[in-house]
Amino acid sequence: GVDTAMQALLCRRPRAALRRLPPATRAYLAAGQQQVAPSGARAKIAAWIVGGSPLYTEVIARQGFDAVVVDQQHGTGEVVPLLQAIDAARDAAGNAPLAVVRIEELSDGAIAKALDAGAAALICPMINSVEECEAFVRATKFPPAGHRSYGPHRAALGWEGSRGDWTRASNTCVQSFAMLETRGALEDLDAILSVDGLSGIFVGPNDLGLALGHDPTDSPEGEVLEAVRHALRLAHAHGRQAAIFCADPATARRMADEGFDLVVAGIDLGWAASGAASALAGVRGAS
């Protein structure tokens, strides 16, 4: 197994102690200690990236977010340049936002590609059952805990230990979040949250609203809000983390007040559009 000294490095030492390590290695090691939020702590705040610009991603990552999510399901960018951009946002103390990838689908290939590229946490969309959740978690871990194939070309850059120690480190530190956005997942949620190795759930209110017979919404109300609250309570009862997508700061604050451990504060393209519109209106209004 991973020896005591390495285990301490992986999950207990302050992030500043990781500065000597190469960027991709630091991302993996920091993941074990950057749990989304301990119970009772303030909610972590994430940015959501759907555009394909590494430069714009780096600019956003430098604003102080706790995490940056690269969306490969509905996004347009390539995963490696965007993860490199997040890592480039490391501050003077050696800290960078947690690099998260929402994979495009539940498949061993999509999971391995994101993890091999250096993602510290994964979000898997459209989990419908406990069986799918088990398959997701197994694909994030090397044997004997799972069946992930070995090939961490970027993620293990600079690792000076053995390959076996690296696989055990990855199994310890990579975080996995199953998206709650279907009726099947809602009905099977207690079993899903019991899956060994799952870090938590990530609520997708738009698809969850559609699944419950409502219009998609970024600001859940009524039956959808009750489902969201039920999921939050159940996640915490199982000792799991609960995260949620929000498209604007007001909704993010509201969900943080509800008790979510991580909230998304908005989308990169939305910020670009609102900033451009505000600049244009400011000039026109002054003329």
Q: Which residue out of 74, 147, 153, 230 is catalytically annotated?
A: 74
Burial class (CB in 10 A: 0-12, 13-18, 19+), 252: buried
Catalytic annotation present for 74? yes
What is the distance between the alpha carbons of residues 21 and 94, in angstroms, rounded to a whole number?
A: 10
Other Cβ atoms within 10 Å of 107 Cβ, number: 14
Instruction: Show which residues are catalytic.
Output: 74
